[in-house]
A and B are shown apart, each in its own frame.
Chain A
Amino acid sequence: MTDPIQPPPKKNPLNRSWVSTIPPAARSRAALGLTAAAAEGRFMLQVCADCGATQYPPRDACHKCLSIDLPWQDIIPTGELLAETTIRATTDIYFRDRLPWRAGTVRLDAGPPMICHIHGDVKPYARVRLINRLDRSGQGVILALPEKDTPNMADDPHLRAISSDPSHRRVLIVDGRNPNTPDFAKALKDAGAAMILIGLSEDWLPFQGRKALEDVGAQIIPLDVTDTKSLQRLAGEFGGKIDILINNARYIRPGGVIDRTDTNLAARELEVNALGLMRLAQALGPAMCSRTADGTNSAVAWVNILSAWALANEPSFGSFAASQAAALSLSQSLRAEFRASGLRLMNVFVGPTDDEWHQPLPPPKVTPAAIARDVVRGLHGGFEDVFCGDVAKDLNERFRRNPKVLEREMTGGGV
């Protein structure tokens, strides 16, 4: 079993904070296939379309038959630890601060041997299951886990380093008025979050949900993503204490382009959904980036709740979908800007949510509890992309297959 992580002591402000470093990030283009799979937590390798040989490390041509047709496929992630080492000296500054580091060679049941990280609970020469996850550089890496779960296994330093585990961490949920906030707060509390802050815009207006949130132990603070000043005040007070930020601010109205007569609603959608993300990041991003090596409760993840319509426009909510596409594009820039710090940006794409705005749409619709579950699952896995609900998953599949076909289907051209 793993020794459980103890709640960190109060930080001594006089001590120097660890400077953020990241593990080696350089990869070939082929190896980025592993990263793309890890972004969703999938264990995939290249398999030769001509001879069926499984490839590793990622390649441009099959090592058995020279075929260049090497599609990525899901692979059964089990194998055997053949040999290992514990690294006690390195010239790399990220690993140097984290020694000793256990690594070894696992022979995958599907074929190739792989050098991988080894979880502390794996016994020498034991059977293992492998996971493919993003490390702090944002690249896919393989970690060997014990075949069966062990007590406190998430607290293992290898696993903690590649997850965005909420336990012992402090979370800000941006929009207390969003109907999904109580479920988020509860799920994060259950996942071991040490502190939950909940933003409330226009806090002079009555807020029915206050008691429910306070009952979970959340602290409610003024926050309006359209008000730069409120964000600066918030950053001054809480900027150095936010380890996970969940941006669930959302402004949604039906309608596309010419079924509206002006751009007022569209402006509001962009103000909250796209520029709100930008303002939040400008206010809180730098402080979070500077705290990614700050011990047990280091800053670890930035989460955006986005509509899956960010991928392809749904014309009945055409203007809202455009604001989601804008937010998605901004999130990609932000992810790149976070890269050097190791702060993870996770987008949770949801299908139509079960609320008043989607009332005319047919099921399936996503419940707040389901989104909350997927947020916590994504944090545990350290993912970058989570697709929540059947509609979002389906839309993602179709988007990958052919975005142009999807566009026509979304506008009623498909049967």
Chain B
Amino acid sequence: MAVALHTDVLPPASRTYPIAPTDRLARLFEEHAAFVARSLRRLGVLDRDVDDGLQEVFLIAQSKLDAIEAGKERSFLFGIARRRASSLRRSVDRASRRDMRSLEEQEVEAPHESEKLTEEEHARAMLDEVLDALPLDLRTVLVLHELEEIETAEIAELLGIPVGTVASRLRRAREKFEIEADRMRARLAAED
């Protein structure tokens, strides 16, 4: 219960609409915002862009509220998030990623005090890099299985694909993930 949604204290005006769309959007947001935000981040959206991405996903959802079947909300939102992540990833130009890297390099001069803090951040940045090496369809199942810890059958439902497809994608995703992780370790070791 991180944020209470004050729909109950909205002025009466909002109640004049029989099925107040704000209410449904508020409910969707309350239930799924965290999942959508995590998904965006893990599907390749930069941390600083997650807020905007989250807002966009729910704005799109708002415009299609009628099309969202009851019980399929999460799947619907995830689908939007996936498309947003895909286009945001494309639009994030390499230059801005380079900027971020050079920023990190500047900080190398002053790692002392925050060493502990940055170890996990460093691991997180490496995770980004490894995941970036995966095609989006593999990345998606890996993220849902490994990070979100969703069962295969549910992933299939979420993505609207057969369970067998999820299983085979997952297998390939893990193979590739392991190879890329090793590759990165080797590269880091060579740099040290």
Q: Tell me whether A and B are bound partners.
A: no
Chain B residues proximal to chain A, CB less than 8 Å: none
Q: Which residues of A contact B (CB under 8 A)?
A: none
